[in-house]
Amino acid sequence: MTEWPKILSHRTTRVSPWMEIIEREVAFSAGSEPALYHAVGQADYLAIVARTPEGLIPIVRQYRPALERFTWELPAGLLDTDESPEQASVRELKEETGLAARSVHALGSYAPCTSRLSNWMHSFFVETEEPQQPREPSEPGIEVRLVSPTELGSLIRSGDFVLQLHIGALLLAGLHGYLALGEFGL
């Protein structure tokens, strides 16, 4: 028995060290006209919902050329080929916020966009060590703030925290019982 749809051809074009375009020719049934589909390929991505012992959530502000503006986001990044998603979450949290992880809890791995992206997003809840002063990120151009859940809810409502993937990570942290979503005032 033949399984449909079938990938008839697959071509990858490297655009930069961080991105490639994947072209797939797909036939959906025997005798049907094949169609071309394109996706963006990149390394798996991770988002970190962290909480300090005081109950504050670290967020980072950086300029995003795709939106042509600054946005507030969770600490996040791309997975390096030589590390596990958990190791990457510890590394990215330290690089972007200066905070050390005390414990790391996986929230799950999900597709960030099933129609245009071919990678996976790994979400984590991280309990941090006590913040040390100064709390300078090692990456240039990043501003770090520690906010209460109520303050973060206000940033979401105002449109200053706009990354839907990170709002989803906050929901996952709530569904797993690490955050009380009512704290966000949403």
- Mean pLDDT for 155-163 is 95
81, 119 Cβ separation under 8 angstroms = no
Residues 27 and 87 in one domain: no
Q: Amino acid identity of 167?
A: I
CA–CA distance, 74 with 112 (Å, rounded to integer): 15
Q: Which residues of 44-71 are buried (b: 16+ CB within 10 A; e: fewer)?
A: bbbbbbbbbeeebbbbbbeeeeeeeeeb
Residues 123 and 65 in one domain: yes
User: Is the predicted pLDDT of residue 136 greater than 80, yes or no?
Assistant: no
Residues 52 and 70 in one domain: yes
Residues 31 and 98 in one domain: no
High-pLDDT (> 90) share of the chain, %: 84
Banded model confidence at residue 134, pLDDT cuts 50, 70, 90: low
Residues 77 and 149 in one domain: yes
Residues 91 and 168 in one domain: yes
pTM attached to this predicted model: 0.89
Residues 52 and 36 in one domain: no
Query: Residue 110's domain spans which residues?
Result: 45-184
In a domain, 1, yes or no: no
Banded model confidence at residue 184, pLDDT cuts 50, 70, 90: confident
In a domain, 92, yes or no: yes
Count the domains in the chain.
2
pLDDT tens digits for range 99-127: 999 999 999 999 999 999 999 999 999 99
Residues 34 and 60 in one domain: no
Residues 75 and 146 in one domain: yes
CATH number at residue 145: 3.90.79.10
In a domain, 82, yes or no: yes
pLDDT tens digits for range 64-109: 998 999 999 999 999 998 999 999 999 999 999 999 999 999 999 9
